[in-house]
A = this chain, B = another copy of it.
């Protein structure tokens, strides 16, 4: 069993031992991802310059883990392969952001 499958299995085990699947509709899982993403962002609020990269790694680790947990659970609920969907999106983005136009600029594709 590869590592991703091990993680998914553990997440489901954790969820099912607590009888929490009843709360995990797609809307609430999406909201949970968003709230964890905000906790990650809170670590950087008001920070600038080198302070940004001085945030404690343990905090970042915890918030990233929370985001990933709910994201993996939502992907699993919809039988999506988390790696395939990212690879597919990279291809789409390559068309939206051709190197010749996008290089070195942070503009959105509709402003390129």
A residues touching B (Cβ–Cβ < 8 Å)?
A: 2-4, 6-7, 10-11, 14, 17-20, 22-23, 25-28, 30-35, 37-47, 52-53, 55, 57, 60-62, 64-69, 71-72, 74-75, 78, 80, 82-83, 85-90, 92-94, 97, 99, 102-104, 106
Q: Known pairs A4-B83, A19-B104, A30-B40. 20 more at Cβ < 8 A? A: A3-B83, A6-B87, A14-B90, A17-B99, A18-B102, A20-B106, A22-B104, A23-B46, A26-B52, A27-B44, A31-B44, A31-B45, A33-B67, A34-B37, A34-B41, A60-B74, A60-B80, A64-B71, A67-B67, A69-B89
The residue of chain B having its C-beta at the shortest distance from the C-beta of A39 within the complex is: B38
